[in-house]
């Protein structure tokens, strides 16, 4: 199997994992405060990441890598989880999932700014059309009606793209497992302290689905998924493989309808099919 094929397979693994993140977060914030959910998932994943570093006896990153690791932590350990959790207290996961279609465009932009990539014009056309489909859907289905939900979601997309691009650049030198593990470890002491300080007064009466959702976003969304994702982006390019982030709506809408019984409109399905075509186009023309 060649390097390009491995890159897209690793990316696809992360896409499947990430597709469950927003539905799981939506389930969790029904009974847990969004801030507690954010710091708790980061603390749990940080402890697991620390264990991975010790088991594999990974060397410490160089001092000049610390700034990039902090950017990764701010983007994907704190920024996206917190902002998306806040958004999901106001909007459904089905609505929020549509915004994920903007992640590839944000990732590609930061890939140019931080990773030095230069995709071809046809790539930007495919990516722009996919992003326009998502933005157009959001504008016509509630953006003006729910700014307190949609604006944090848009901010989450930006910081997510930055965290993806920065982490990928580091992964080419440190390795994907090391990047996400060190980013989690760098923020562990603060996240663990905040998790203890924001513990709910009582855990009685919490649904099993709440704890299962916390476990999912901590283990899979915050750690395992990123190992596959950073590896795929490093192998195949930030802009090219990043277009796979247009696919989570296809899986996520199904989960939202199945697990949360949220309404999935024909418009949502149409948008996801359009962005799927954009993924195929971007893959064909990306360098």
What's the whole-number mean pLDDT along residues 65-76? 95
65: Cβ contacts below 8 Å, ≥ 6 apart: 170, 173, 174
So what's the pLDDT on residue 144? 46
Is the pLDDT higher at 283 or at 100?
A: 100
Dihedral sign from CA coordinates of 79, 81, 87, 89: negative
Per-residue pLDDT of 154-186, as tens digits, reads 899 999 999 999 999 999 889 999 999 999 999
So what's the pLDDT on residue 264? 66
* Tokens found for residue 142: 């509630």
Is the pLDDT higher at 90 or at 181?
A: 181
CA distance 112 to 165: 9
Taking the CA of residue 24 as centre, how many other CA atoms within 13 Å lie in the half-sphere pointing to its CB?
22
So what's the pLDDT on residue 33? 95
- Predicted confidence (pLDDT) at residue 142 exceeds the cutoff of 60: no
- At residue 180, the 3 state secondary structure works out as helix
pLDDT-derived band at 283 (thresholds 50, 70, 90) equals low
Taking the CA of residue 264 as centre, how many other CA atoms within 13 Å lie in the half-sphere pointing to its CB?
22
Range among 88-92, 111-115, 211-215, 238-242 rated most confident: 211-215
What's the whole-number mean pLDDT along residues 142-160? 78
Report whether 23 contacts 260 (CB < 8 A). Answer: yes
Range among 54-58, 214-218, 261-265 rated most confident: 214-218
The pTM assigned to this predicted structure is 0.85
Dihedral sign from CA coordinates of 228, 232, 238, 239: negative
What is the tally of structural domains in the chain? 1
Which structural domain range is residue 109 located in? 3-285
So what's the pLDDT on residue 18? 87
- Predicted confidence (pLDDT) at residue 211 exceeds the cutoff of 70: yes
- Predicted confidence (pLDDT) at residue 44 exceeds the cutoff of 90: yes
Is the pLDDT higher at 101 or at 155?
A: 155
So what's the pLDDT on residue 281? 74
So what's the pLDDT on residue 202? 80
So what's the pLDDT on residue 141? 57
So what's the pLDDT on residue 237? 81
CA distance 176 to 229: 8
Q: With left for phi above 0 and alpha for psi between -120 and 50, is residue 20 left, alpha or beta?
A: alpha
Per-residue pLDDT of 50-63, as tens digits, reads 999 999 888 889 99
- Predicted confidence (pLDDT) at residue 29 exceeds the cutoff of 60: yes
So what's the pLDDT on residue 187? 96
């Amino acid at each position: 199997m060649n390097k390009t094929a491995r890159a897209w397979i690793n990316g696809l693994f992360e896409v499947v994992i990430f597709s469950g993140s927003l539905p799981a977060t939506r389930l969790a914030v029904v009974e847990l405060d969004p801030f507690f959910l954010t710091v708790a998932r980061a603390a749990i994943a940080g402890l697991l990441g620390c264990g991975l570093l010790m088991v594999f006896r990974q060397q410490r990153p160089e001092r000049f890598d610390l700034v990039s690791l902090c950017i990764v932590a701010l983007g994907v350990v704190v920024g996206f989880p917190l902002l998306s959790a806040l958004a999901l207290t106001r909007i459904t996961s089905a609505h929020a999932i549509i915004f994920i279609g903007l992640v590839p465009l944000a990732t590609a932009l930061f890939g140019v700014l931080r990773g030095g990539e230069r995709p071809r014009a046809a790539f930007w056309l495919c990516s722009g059309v996919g992003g326009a489909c998502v933005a157009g859907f959001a504008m016509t289905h509630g953006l003006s009606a729910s700014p307190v939900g949609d604006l944090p979601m848009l901010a989450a997309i930006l910081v997510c793209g930055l965290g993806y691009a920065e982490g990928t650049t580091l992964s080419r030198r440190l390795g994907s497992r090391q990047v996400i593990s060190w980013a989690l470890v760098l923020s562990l002491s603060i996240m663990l302290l905040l998790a203890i300080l924001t513990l709910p007064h009582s855990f009685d009466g919490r649904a099993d689905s709440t704890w299962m959702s916390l476990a999912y976003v901590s283990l899979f969304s915050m750690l395992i998924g990123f190992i596959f994702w950073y590896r795929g982006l490093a192998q195949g390019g930030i802009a090219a493989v990043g277009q796979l982030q247009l696919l989570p709506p296809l899986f996520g809408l199904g989960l939202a309808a199945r697990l949360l019984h949220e309404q999935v409109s024909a418009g949502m399905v149409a948008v996801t099919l359009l962005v799927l075509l954009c993924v195929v186009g971007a893959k064909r023309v990306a360098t």
